[in-house]
């Protein structure tokens, strides 16, 4: 196997900086035509279409037609898995207090590890 397809999950989809830019442009919650994105982000049209295609397959955007244009809209709830996943690590950089707690836990854990190690050493003797 090679790499997992980008159309597989959201994490892969947002790995592309340009796709994140597109998402950012859609973050106003409004519909945007492909041409808008091309203009604002100054990307070649085929690139935009492709990236939007990826985002659509993952569900991060939805499409609707209006005349000859296609209007893309952000479906942000599909980003929730990313948020949920990374939220777990928030405590590592917020709140001095948490940081102290984490430190304490680490020290404790290390001590136990050390003691276990010593215990094992003795047994092996």
Partner DNA sequence: ACTTTATATTCCGTTATGGGAATATGTCAA
Partner DNA sequence: TTGACATATTCCCATAACGGAATATAAAGT
Q: What is the binding site for a second copy (CB under 8 A)?
A: 3-4, 9, 11-12, 14-17, 20, 23-24, 27-31, 74, 76-77, 79-80, 82-83, 85-90, 92-93, 102, 105-106, 109-110, 113
Give the burial class of 85: count Cβ atoms within 10 A of its Cβ; 0-12 exposed, 13-18 middle, 19 or more buried.
exposed
Distinct helix (H) and strand (E) counts, the chain: 6, 3
> Which of DNA, a second copy, none interacts with 123 (beta carbon under 5 to 8 A by kind)?
none
Give the burial class of 17: count Cβ atoms within 10 A of its Cβ; 0-12 exposed, 13-18 middle, 19 or more buried.
exposed
For binding to DNA (CB under 7 A), which residues are involved? 1-7, 12, 15-16, 18-19, 33-35, 38, 44-54, 63, 65, 67-70
């Amino acid at each position: 196997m090679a790499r997992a397809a980008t159309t597989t999950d959201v994490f892969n989809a947002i790995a592309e900086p340009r796709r994140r830019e597109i998402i950012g442009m859609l973050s106003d919650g409004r519909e945007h035509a492909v041409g808008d994105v091309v203009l604002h982000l100054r990307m070649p049209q085929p690139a935009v279409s492709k990236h939007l295609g990826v985002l659509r397959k993952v569900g991060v955007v939805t499409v609707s037609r209006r005349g000859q244009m296609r209007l893309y809209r952000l479906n942000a709830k599909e980003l929730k898995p990313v948020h949920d996943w990374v939220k777990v690590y928030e405590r590592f950089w917020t709140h001095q207090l948490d940081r102290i707690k984490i430190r304490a836990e680490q020290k404790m854990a290390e001590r136990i590890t050390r003691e276990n190690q010593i215990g094992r050493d003795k047994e092996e003797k």
